[in-house]
A and B are shown apart, each in its own frame.
Chain A
């Protein structure tokens, strides 16, 4: 038997179809727990524990296809709930590539824009920051850091003045590869700031001794760079099997294993792995969901990789 659809039937079936098309996404998002976040101690604002770095991976110059690929990485990053993207004037064309991606994605509102000042002499800082801002195509940065603590005595007052004037929300200092830790410690002890950025991973753990406890004591948020030792840790451990107990903290891959180790440290706010691949950024963001290892499990993780 056939029958013609009345207007009411047609509208009802359209509504049903619409609901049916939404339900799977909605159900999936409900099935997945919320992204893990940590508060920025100085404000209480929450940040997802995994961000996105841009060193090397986003320095693709004028290559249009590669810029589009980076924009897709950013799209996937935001889709997975990411917020903090980090760059620097030292990273070649990375800032411009981020700006290109942000324009292509219509400037996602959840962006937390973190950049750096990296220039000798405090007087030249504001011009470099303004140039960086134009590359990013953002009205202002959320976070400005003194890159590698270069001339921090001159740059930090400038950044603090910008913060007071509402031209940036947070200020900080960075280092990498375990360098200048004594100086970072001195800055942490003596300067008011919101963020510190250091290298920390399951192998390079020097910051656990002094920097991380001090940052916690001083209520400073911590960003972690080189979480995979520039990919070397994945090359080194990737062929070994994940321990079966990794499933106990919702870990499905080595990148997630390495990231969950980092972000489960109570002083860490956010890790910033860099990638130029969409599948990798999704995998990395996966570490920001589900359970995190407790202290005993962290010790077990470190012992496990030590034997590999």
Chain B
């Protein structure tokens, strides 16, 4: 791209805010009643996090893999690509995240949701709850119709934020490979919302930023204490 420094976020925005938010309305209409399943899945994950076990962690990872795959295909590839041609590549990245959760969390059982510190646990659960309960009402609070609500499990922003929250709860070293796609998506989505002057951008940046900052803090703390924490803990020890 020549003269790249002359480009602004606005130059990459191919659609109007009206078209973007109406896309969620049409998407919600198309996938109904998948939203009910997504809400139930969200609360099931919350329930499993109360008393984490190896088996429960596998189920949480399977749920996350399913959500990322759903959003990749149903949202990015099937819907978003209609107004944003590059969405097909974003969809591919979401498939990759789903595969990573499936391999690391379901097949290998390397991900156990037992946070190393109370701060990580509290922050992780709080951000997860916000992704679950706050995201659907952001639009209506900002004056957009309920029909355009974005839900964890079926819409990309709350799914990415909830995933970052859950990654904070993982025992042992930070699984940075799982952070890449959600963080990149949050950056892309915040840039899109920012170019449309939608205040949602700041909420996304704040939630993703807090999760990433806490993950870095936890990682540094672990490194300083020199503790060697195994990535896999038997279910009996986790209990």
The residue on B at minimum CB distance from A183 is: B2
Is there an interface contact between B83 and A60, defined as CB atoms closer than 8 Å?
yes
CA distance A179 to B2 in the complex (A): 9
CA distance A277 to B59 in the complex (A): 49
Q: Given known contacts A66-B22, A178-B6, A180-B2, is B82 in contact with A61 (CB within 8 Å)?
A: yes
Tally of A-B Cβ pairs under 8 angstroms: 47
Stretch at the interface among B8-16, B133-141, B178-186: B8-16
The residue on A at minimum CB distance from B3 is: A179
CA distance A230 to B83 in the complex (A): 18
Q: Given known contacts A61-B83, A63-B22, A66-B22, is B15 in contact with A92 (CB within 8 Å)?
A: yes
The residue on B at minimum CB distance from A57 is: B16
Q: Which of B3, B14, B26 contacts A62 (CB 8 A)?
A: B26
Instruction: Say yes or no for A93: interface residue by CB 8 A criterion.
Output: yes
Is there an interface contact between A60 and B6, defined as CB atoms closer than 8 Å?
no
Instruction: Say yes or no for A248: interface residue by CB 8 A criterion.
Output: no
A276 contact set on B, CB distance < 8 A: 16, 18
Instruction: Say yes or no for A177: interface residue by CB 8 A criterion.
Output: yes
The residue on B at minimum CB distance from A178 is: B6
Q: Which of A61, A90, A91 contacts B23 (CB 8 A)?
A: A61
Q: Given known contacts A61-B82, A179-B3, is B10 in contact with A230 (CB within 8 Å)?
A: yes
CA distance A276 to B15 in the complex (A): 11
A62 contact set on B, CB distance < 8 A: 26, 82
B117 contact set on A, CB distance < 8 A: none
Q: Given known contacts A93-B82, A93-B83, A178-B6, is B11 in contact with A59 (CB within 8 Å)?
A: no
Q: Which of A60, A91, A178, A180 contacts B19 (CB 8 A)?
A: A60
CA distance A57 to B79 in the complex (A): 18
Instruction: Say yes or no for A56: interface residue by CB 8 A criterion.
Output: yes
The residue on A at minimum CB distance from B4 is: A179
A90 contact set on B, CB distance < 8 A: 14
Q: B87 → chain A, closest Cβ, in Å? A: 10
A57 contact set on B, CB distance < 8 A: 16
Instruction: Say yes or no for B119: interface residue by CB 8 A criterion.
Output: no
B6 contact set on A, CB distance < 8 A: 177-179
Q: B105 → chain A, closest Cβ, in Å? A: 34
Instruction: Say yes or no for B219: interface residue by CB 8 A criterion.
Output: no
B82 contact set on A, CB distance < 8 A: 61-62, 92-93
The residue on B at minimum CB distance from A181 is: B3
Q: Which of B3, B10, B19, B26 contacts A59 (CB 8 A)?
A: B19
CA distance A191 to B15 in the complex (A): 34
Is there an interface contact between B3 and A92, defined as CB atoms closer than 8 Å?
no
Q: A164 → chain B, closest Cβ, in Å? A: 30
B83 contact set on A, CB distance < 8 A: 59-61, 92-93
CA distance A276 to B17 in the complex (A): 12
CA distance A66 to B23 in the complex (A): 11
B3 contact set on A, CB distance < 8 A: 179-180
Query: Which residues in chain A, 147-196, are within 8 Å of chain B measured between CB atoms?
Result: 177-180
Is there an interface contact between A92 and B85, defined as CB atoms closer than 8 Å?
yes
Q: A61 → chain B, closest Cβ, in Å? A: 3
Is there an interface contact between A59 and B15, defined as CB atoms closer than 8 Å?
yes
Q: B20 → chain A, closest Cβ, in Å? A: 10
B84 contact set on A, CB distance < 8 A: 92
Q: B85 → chain A, closest Cβ, in Å? A: 6
Q: Which of A63, A92, A177, A178 contacts B26 (CB 8 A)?
A: A63
Is there an interface contact between B19 and A66, defined as CB atoms closer than 8 Å?
yes
CA distance A178 to B18 in the complex (A): 28
A63 contact set on B, CB distance < 8 A: 19, 22-23, 26
B11 contact set on A, CB distance < 8 A: 177
B16 contact set on A, CB distance < 8 A: 56-57, 59, 276
Q: Given known contacts A61-B23, A66-B19, A66-B22, is B14 in contact with A91 (CB within 8 Å)?
A: yes
B85 contact set on A, CB distance < 8 A: 92
Q: A150 → chain B, closest Cβ, in Å? A: 10
A179 contact set on B, CB distance < 8 A: 2-3, 6
B15 contact set on A, CB distance < 8 A: 56, 59-60, 92
The residue on B at minimum CB distance from A230 is: B10
Q: B91 → chain A, closest Cβ, in Å? A: 15
What would 8 A/B residue contacts be, using CB atoms closer than 8 Å? A56-B13, A90-B14, A92-B14, A92-B15, A92-B84, A93-B82, A179-B6, A276-B16
Given contacts A61-B23, A180-B3, 16 further A-B contacts (CB under 8 A): A56-B13, A56-B15, A56-B16, A59-B14, A59-B16, A60-B15, A61-B83, A62-B82, A63-B19, A63-B22, A66-B19, A66-B22, A92-B82, A92-B85, A179-B3, A230-B10
Interface residues of B (CB under 8 A from A): 2-3, 6, 10-11, 13-16, 18-19, 22-23, 26, 79, 82-85
- The 5 tightest CB contacts between A and B, nearest first, are A61-B82, A61-B83, A92-B14, A59-B15, A92-B83
